[in-house]
Amino acid sequence: MMRGNGVRLLAVVVSIVMVVAVVAAICVEGTPQHQRELRTDKIRIADLDRLSVAIRAYEGTKGVLPETLAASGAVMAIVDPVTGAPYEYGITGKSTWRLCATFAEPSEPEARDTFVVEGAFHLPRQHVAGRQCFDQKIGVRR
């Protein structure tokens, strides 16, 4: 009988430790849904980066900004990976344009431009939750 109580106590202690570990992991890393949203937002930023490069390449060869993202010759995704809605693109001047996307989560504080090659064209990694636009200009490296 004493042995049965010891096994039960051990089972209870192990269960409590497991629950505490799961709760701690969620507190530190966030829920699986939150992690999926962060990954999807990183895909959106990468898509916008590639679109920006395609727009710059188009302008470099044609001398004008493309009328649409499709006209830019972009062979990569021009639509949101979750909603399927096209990324927003608009010409704002002779050499300026705007790319917009809707983000699920605000960027994390450590999402700085730490992995950007010096002198390369890129979009800022910081964004808010919801619709965010990035203004771009030919000849300006961010």
User: For the segment 42-74, what is each residue's pLDDT rounded down to a tens digit?
Assistant: 999 999 988 998 999 999 999 999 999 988 877
Q: Does 142 reside within a domain?
A: no
Question: Tokens for 40?
Answer: 């999807």
Give the pLDDT of residue 83: 93
Please work out, in degrees rounded to the nearest 5, the angle formed at the alpha carbon of residue 91 by the alpha carbons of 90 and 95.
145
* pLDDT lower than 70: segments of the chain: 1-4, 20-30, 75, 110-124, 140-142
Burial label for 57, CB within 10 Å (0-12, 13-18, 19+), is middle
Q: Same structural domain for residues 17 and 67? A: no
Residue with tokens 């302008």: 59
Q: Same structural domain for residues 21 and 47? A: no
For the chain, how many residues are written?
Answer: 142
Which stretches of 1-142 are DSSP H helices?
2-29, 32-62
| Structural domain boundaries, residue 76 | 31-137
Q: How many domains does the chain have?
A: 2
Q: Does 133 reside within a domain?
A: yes
- Whether 88 and 99 have beta carbons less than 8 Å apart is answered as yes
